[in-house]
Structure 1
Amino acid sequence: MTTRIERLQGRLAKLYLDAFLVTDPTNIYYLTGFHLLAGDGFLLVSTDRAIIVSDARYALALQEFDSDEVVAAISQDYYDDLNRICQTMKITVLGYESSLSYFLYDVLDEVMVADLVPFTNLIEKMRVVKDSTELAKLRRAADLHTAGFNYLLDQVQPGVSERHLANLLDFWMKEHGAIAAAFPTIIASGTNSAKPHATASDKLIADGDIVTVDFGYFVDGYTADMTRTFGVGSIDPELRDVYQIVNTARQAVIDQVKVGQRGDRLDAAGRSLIDEAGYGDEFNHGMGHGIGLAVHELPASYGPGTPDVKLVNNAVITVEPGIYIPELGGVRIEDDVVVTHGGPQVLTTAPTDLVIVGD
């Protein structure tokens, strides 16, 4: 089987490159399996070599790093050494990630003899298609999120704060195998739930609140991203109706997930239902995005203006329609879905029927 580094090496000649410089730590991990913090070195991939360069802090970890295709070097000046390596290997055209900071580009421009050529999302596009190992990790992550949500429901009662619930969920997830949160957990109750990116606050959960929980945690390097909305006690009848509209839209989008599907058409499958119900102005974000080693991978977003987004086999996307009514509350339901030739595979198994706590 061709390795990820070999896939990248096979592309270099077609891109008119002698080598490619990788500085993004997630991309380094994707290609090599080695964890390097941002700014702590780089990976250089030429047509026949792959070299990780870092400093003495990583010496032991690199000695223990078991790889048949990556060699390591310890440096006291990363980019002076990069220039020397490139000259030794007769690298005259060096590609780099366009996400590079201007400061680091300025350093490279100053020290490098090789010509520098930027590329956007070269490795990120490789990451879109997940292999069986990646899909298994994403499935485990999604299963943990379902279990975490079920745990959280048992902790909800009037008088407990959003922040306390977020802290309980964080502790439970990490105690049961999660490494870290992919983003600050959203627990938004009552009118706070009308803010799509509300953060957990000191607001106390009250009877009659609708509550949105949006969370993502890394499990073995890969993150799921799940949102559920539930009610506490007797909620406004309009919010019950809105919930059903959002849930129907979610399923309508999932039903249209297939290889080759355009992003705008996928979005329209759900957005049209929300528009027809009279809530088009209250749905103010995209329908979803890719996930994997990061919580936002390619496709970074798909919505009405994304005809160029085309779903590919074994990509993993979120489906997350929502309706947000100021001064009343909001509803969002989000699933993680694998795109396959045989149709969509939904990873998130938490029930999507409206749950009322305290009934």
Structure 2
Amino acid sequence: MEQRLTQLRALMAEQAVPALLVGSAANRRYLSGFTGSYGWLLISAEHALLFSDSRYTLQVAQEAPAYTFHQINFSESPLATVLSAAAQELGIDTIACEANHLSVAEYQQLEQALGREIRLEPKQNLVETLREIKDEAELTTLLRAIALTDAALAAVLERLTPQTTEREAAWMLEVALRLGGAEAVSFPIIVAAGPNSALPHARPGDTPLGEGQPIVIDMGARVDGYHADLTRTIVLGKPDARFWEIYNIVLAAQRSAITGLRPGLATHAADALARDVITEAGYGNQFGHGLGHGVGLNIHEAPGLRRANANSPEVLLRAGMVTSIEPGIYIEGWGGIRIEDLVLITPAGAEVLSQAPKLI
């Protein structure tokens, strides 16, 4: 945690930020180790404070010993009051806040409580910029979550039958993840069979898995706060020629992207490595989402690998980033195929972290 604080303070100094208020759960955990459901950090060049309520007094001492604890009482001394007093005591006259995570109501309450003496300044992505690069401890935890996910899928696949429903399969996968040691699933598990698999974020229902049709399984384990993300498209029984045509295109697109990833490559260009393969095969309109996304304390985090547009600034890949690579083709009335692995960007290119087998 000390190294992360040092890196943040260097970034704050670079951007002339005298103090930063952190309320995002993932950012709070990343910087302090505190895993409670409620809390705020105030970080300056010399001070690190953690504000929370009496439920977490002992937990803060255990998980965030580098921080000075300030207790909040919601009826008598809410965050705005305690923060204002602490800032004045430390001589802080400007506090940057997380514009991406603070509600308008919270911002207005804080601004009013701080008054004219302390200025509140919205800032974006200070901590998220640091979180894009995974340190050794994060990579170790991610690898545990990924291996657990791979193993759970393997254990369940051999038990699936054409009569198994999507909902039953999703529950079997969740049980396998939990029994394997996951603290939770990374997101609601997707199992979508036949035409339902044309929905990228389908919800498992009572549809049987059936035979000879695509079955998209999207799942992940959460371990010590870190998420895995894996998608495989399978088929029970014998697939037809159309299945293999679409599957081979998606697989070729994924391989093209993974082979071409490297530090310095723009995320828009990374997306194009896979999208061009699918477009040239005649299915460009059936690939609507981005190629991938960063994974860590959040299941979706920076960097985002997507097509260039006015609202998607160019980001360059850097060594140490972990991102999903998940091209897909979705055809209404028939179904969809998506193949997803997590990869680590290294100085030499991309290392595939997911080890679950593919059909070919």
Tell me the TM-score normalised to structure 2 length. 0.94
1:147-179 Cα distance to aligned partner (Å, 9 max, x none): 111112112101111011111111110111111
Residues 300-319 of structure 1 correspond to what in structure 2 (within 5 A)?
300-305=304-309, 308-319=314-325
Alignment partner, residue 128 of structure 1: 132
Query: Identity of counterpart residues, as a percentage?
Result: 37
- Offset at residue 339 of structure 1 (A): 0.3
Cα displacement (A) at 1:183: 1.4
Contact 2:233/2:338 (8 A) holds in 1: yes
One-letter identity of the residue aligned with 1:6: T
Q: Residue 51 of structure 2 aligns to which amino acid in structure 1? A: V
Asked if the contact 1:155/1:165 (under 8 Å) is kept, the reply is: no
1:56-111 per-position Cα deviation (integer Å, ceiling 9, x unaligned): 111221233362x3221222122200000001111101000002011211210110
Distance of aligned partners of 1:262 and 1:307 in 2 relative to their CA distance in 1, 3 Å threshold: farther
The 5 Å alignment of 1:31-180 reads 31-37=31-37, 40-65=38-63, 67=65, 69-76=66-73, 77-98=78-99, 99-113=101-115, 114-180=118-184
The alpha carbon displacement at 1:304 in A equals 4.5
Alignment-derived partner of residue 250 in structure 1: 254
Q: 1:325 aligns with which of 331, 339, 343?
A: 331
Contact 1:216 1:295 in 2 (8 A): no
Contact 1:257 1:339 in 2 (8 A): yes
Secondary structure at the aligned position of 1:344 is classed as strand
**Secondary structure in structure 2 of the residue aligned to 1:336:** strand
The structure-2 alpha-carbon separation of the partners of 1:93 and 1:189, relative to structure 1 and needing over 3 Å to count, comes to same
AA of the residue aligned to 2:274: G
Does structure 1 conserve the Cα–Cα contact (< 8 Å) formed by 2:220 and 2:228?
yes
Task: Tell whether the 8 Å contact from 1:247 to 1:352 is kept in structure 2 after alignment.
Answer: no
Q: Does 1:350 align with 2:356?
A: yes
Structure 2 CA distance for aligned equivalents of residues 341 and 16 of structure 1: 31
Alignment: residue pair count: 351
Contact 2:268–2:305 (Cα < 8 Å) also in 1 = no
Aligned position for 2:200: 196
RMSD: 1.5
Structure 2 contact 165–206 (Cα < 8 Å) conserved: yes
What residue in structure 1 maps to residue 279 of structure 2?
275
Runs of 5+ unmatched residues, structure 1: 355-359
| Structure 1 residue 220 displacement after superposition | 1.9
What SS does the aligned partner of 1:155 have? coil
Q: Which residue of 2 aligns with 1:208?
A: 212
SS in 2 for 1:235: coil
Task: Give, as a single letter, the amino acid of the residue that structure 2 aligns with 1:111.
Answer: A
Question: Cα distance, 1:216 vs. partner?
Answer: 2.1
Q: CA deviation at 1:232?
A: 1.2
Q: Which runs of 5+ in 2 are unaligned?
A: none
The CA distance in 1 between the partners of 2:62 and 2:275, in whole Å, is 51
Shift of 1:138: 1.1
Aligned equivalents of 1:13 and 1:303: distance in 2? 33
Q: Kindly provide the CA deviation profile for residues 308-340 of structure 1, in whole angstroms up to 9, marking residues without a partner as x.
A: 121001001110010111111110000100001
Question: TM-score, normalized by length of structure 1?
Answer: 0.94
Deviation of residue 267 (structure 1)? 1.5
1:65/1:331 Cα in 2 relative to 1: closer, same or farther (>3 Å)?
closer
Alpha carbons of structure 1 residues 236 and 329: separation in structure 2 relative to 1, 3 Å: farther
Contact 1:268 1:304 (C-alpha < 8 Å) held by counterparts: no
Alpha-carbon separation, structure 2, partners of 1:353 and 1:212: 12
Tell me if structure 1 keeps the 8 A contact 2:170–2:191: yes
| Displacement after TM superposition at 1:307 (Å) | 6.6
Report SS of the residue matched to 1:125: helix
Q: Hey, what does 1:339 align to over in structure 2?
A: 345
Could you say what secondary structure the match of 2:210 adopts?
coil
The offset of 1:260, in angstroms, is: 0.4
C-alpha separation between the residues in 1 aligned to 2:345 and 2:207?
A: 39
CA distance in 2, matches of 1:124, 1:146: 28
For residue 61 of structure 1, give the secondary structure of its aligned residue in structure 2: helix
